[in-house]
Amino acid sequence: MDLDDLYQEIILEHYKQPKNQGVVPQADIEIEGRNPFCGDEIKLTLKIDDGVIKDVKFAGSGCAISQASASLMTEHIKGKKVSEVKELFQEFAHMVRGEEHEHHHIDEMDELSAFHGVSAYPTRVKCAMLAWNAMKEGIERELQKHEK
């Protein structure tokens, strides 16, 4: 099995059997994201306590890339500090866009690297980024509320 096959298998696995599906009860953050170009939709709910993401779940529909990306994202951000999640977001965004960037949170053996090949298909970048962009927007809104 070559690396492309392995990556494809990871994406299909998370699409067919997504992790962290559902809704977090009494969530601190509820946010929806949509990709109008292909119809992908995502709703994220997050529970944050003392700057740490204690729980995160998603619900939605769409292509294998958007749903697998949401599943893998929820697995990778749960239990992390918001500051770490912001760094992870930047690394993932650079990776799926095919941009050079130093990675501290994603290595070549990490399941998130399965999305590296998305950069060759610009229309699929939005699919891979849907849940990530929603998560980032939700966290930023929550932080702004606490700054006021």
- Give 3-147's CATH code, choosing from 3.10.20.600, 3.30.300.30, 3.40.50.1820, 3.90.1010.10: 3.90.1010.10
Alpha-helix residue ranges (DSSP H) falling in the chain: 3-16, 64-77, 82-97, 122-147
Average pLDDT, the chain: 90
Per-residue pLDDT tens over the stretch 48-73: 999 999 999 999 999 999 999 999 99
Contact 58, 146 (CB under 8 A): no
Q: CB under 8 Å to 13, separation ≥6 — which residues? A: 68
Give me the percent of the chain exceeding a pLDDT of 70. 93
What is the per-residue pLDDT for 110? 82
85: pLDDT confidence band, cut at 50, 70 and 90? very high
Contact 11, 3 (CB under 8 A): no
What is the pTM (predicted TM-score) of this model? 0.91
Coil, strand or helix at 24: coil
Per-residue pLDDT tens over the stretch 93-129: 999 999 887 777 777 658 888 898 888 888 899 999 9
Phi/psi of residue 112, nearest 5 degrees:
-60, -25
Contact 20, 11 (CB under 8 A): no
